Amino acid sequence: MRKWWRGLAPAVVVLLAALAVAGLRPATEHGQGRPQLRFGPGGVFRVALFADLHYGEDAWTDWGPAQDAASDRVMAAVLDAENPDFVVYLGDLVTANNLPIPNASLYWDRAISASRSRGVPWATVFGNHDDMPFEWPPEWFSPNGVPPLRCPPPTMSTPDSGCSFRGTPRIDLMAAEVGANRLSYSSSGPRELWPGVSNYVLQVLSRRRTRGSDDHDPALLMYFLDSGGGSYTEVVSSTQVKWFHSQSQFLNPNGRIPELIFWHIPSTAYVKVAPKAKSEIRKPCVGSINKEEVAPQAAEWGMMDALAKRPSVKAVFVGHNHGLDWCCPYEELWLCFARHTGYGGYGDWPRGARIIQVTEEPFSAVSWIRMENGSRHSDVTLSS
């Protein structure tokens, strides 16, 4: 097993010395390797959200590999159309409960290769399907038996792991991603937040130099949280809420820097603002599909209150519900679903990706959905 502290991403410039003085722990273990994220020419930073790719389903059939190839094409189409500065993989990159191999990182790597091959940096958060043991199809115990599986050959060190069926833990998935990819801005968060792992903050620097300095101030903060599921409860914990408090107080004490939030499973606040299930989406909500009920986290331990109290927080983005793609206002911020991007996972709605575009000066955050076929819809202004 990999040492968990190896290969952690140098994701955030946080002043370690200042943290030590403040008695705070940094949001991420970080190093010096990755260049800082910055707003692009024109003061724009564009993010593509790839949600619910669900790679690796039914690898022993024809349709499983075929749908993975289709997911490759969706991401390629969106990246070609939007040319984003950054990609957020919003959980459920793989369907680990359908993976009879010992290392789901093989499929995880395929998901992130869409960004890597174009040189686009990215970050990942975990969904409820990324860290799950294999669920044996009940029909494999029937007279039909087990289909021929394509398993890696057992090795001396793992003689019974040709098909191990045990799933790949979050910490291993993250270590494999971060260790092998210079463009990955993902990170294993502080150990005190385990079993949640994808808890970290990224900052995007201003295009302009700080007056009287060669430095660039941060102009956007992106918080990534692990909303659980799979190997543990679907929840943002009370400990994560405390962590968010201390991070946001440290990085953005006066709320000057706009903040965006990313996790996988909608909080119960989404249920409160949701359009009536399966009915038309009406203003102030904006979106194109409303085909199911919100499937929220198991509990709410204060994260939404923490966010609602900060005017600097502009929006929360989640995946999980493949049949929802709306944004609705909640107090002073927006709650948005991404758009089901992968051909894996339930639902036959056309695939696409939510795009977020943040402009530095004057500040604005807008969003829309780019479809696989090139069309664009559901434009919404989140802040201006």
Choose the binding region for its own copies from 18-26, 69-77, 262-270, 297-305 (rule: CB under 8 A). Answer: 297-305
Query: Which of 193, 219 has the CB closer to its own copies?
Result: 193
How many chain residues are in contact with its own copies, going by CB under 8 A? 35
Q: Choose which of 83, 113, 117, 158 interacts with its own copies (CB under 8 A).
A: 158
| 283 belongs to the binding site for its own copies (CB under 8 A) | no
What does the DSSP assignment read for 35-65? PPEE--TTSEEEEEEEB---BTTTTTSSHHH
DSSP per-residue codes, 168-201: --HHHHHHHHHHH-TTB------GGGTT----EE
Toward its own copies, which CB reaches closer, 22 or 298?
A: 298
Distance (Å, whole) CA 304 – CA 212: 38
Sign of torsion, CA 368 50 326 227?
Answer: negative
Position 143 contacts its own copies (CB under 8 A): yes
**Interaction of residue 275 with its own copies, rule CB under 8 A:** no
Q: Distance (Å, rounded) from C-alpha 219 to C-alpha 207?
A: 9
Q: Which stretch binds its own copies (CB under 8 A): 77-85, 225-233, 352-360, 362-370?
A: 225-233
Binding part of the chain for its own copies, among 3-11, 18-26, 344-352, 365-373 by CB under 8 A, reads 3-11
| Whether the bond into 138 is cis, omega within 30 of 0 | no
Q: Which of 41, 42, 153, 159 binds its own copies (CB under 8 A)?
A: 159
Nearer to its own copies, 138 or 212 (CB): 138
Asked if residue 234 lies in contact with residue 294, where contact means CB atoms within 8 angstroms, the answer is no
Stretch of 203-211, 237-245, 246-254, 261-269 lying at the interface with its own copies (CB under 8 A): 237-245
373 binds its own copies (CB under 8 A): no
Does the footprint of its own copies cover residue 60 (CB under 8 A)?
no
What is the DSSP code string of 217-230? -EEEEEEE-----S
- Asked if residue 121 has a cis previous peptide bond (ω within 30° of 0), the answer is no
Residue pair 300/308 in contact by the 8 Å Cβ criterion: no
Is residue 231 part of the contact set for its own copies (CB under 8 A)?
A: yes
CA angle 293, 269, 325 (to 5 degrees): 50
Residue 4 within binding range of its own copies, rule CB under 8 A: yes
Candidates 139-147, 201-209, 319-327, 345-353; binding stretch for its own copies (CB under 8 A) = 139-147
- As to burial, measured by CB atoms within 10 angstroms (0-12 exposed, 13-18 middle, 19+ buried), residue 31 is exposed
The span from the CA of 185 to the CA of 88, in Å, is 10
Query: Helix, strand or coil for residue 97?
Result: helix
Binding string to its own copies for residues 167 to 196, with x set by CB under 8 A, is what? Answer: --x-x-----------------------x-
Nearest approach in angstroms of CB 196 to its own copies is 9
149 touches its own copies by CB under 8 A: no
Task: State both tokens at 74.
Answer: 């969706």
Q: Is 148 in the site for its own copies (CB under 8 A)?
A: no
Q: Which region among 22-30, 35-43, 109-117, 160-168 touches its own copies (by CB under 8 A)?
A: 160-168
**Residue with token string 């044996």:** 136
The residue ranges that bind its own copies (CB under 8 A) are: 1, 3-5, 133, 136, 138, 140-145, 157-161, 165-166, 169, 171, 195, 228, 231-233, 235-239, 298-299, 301
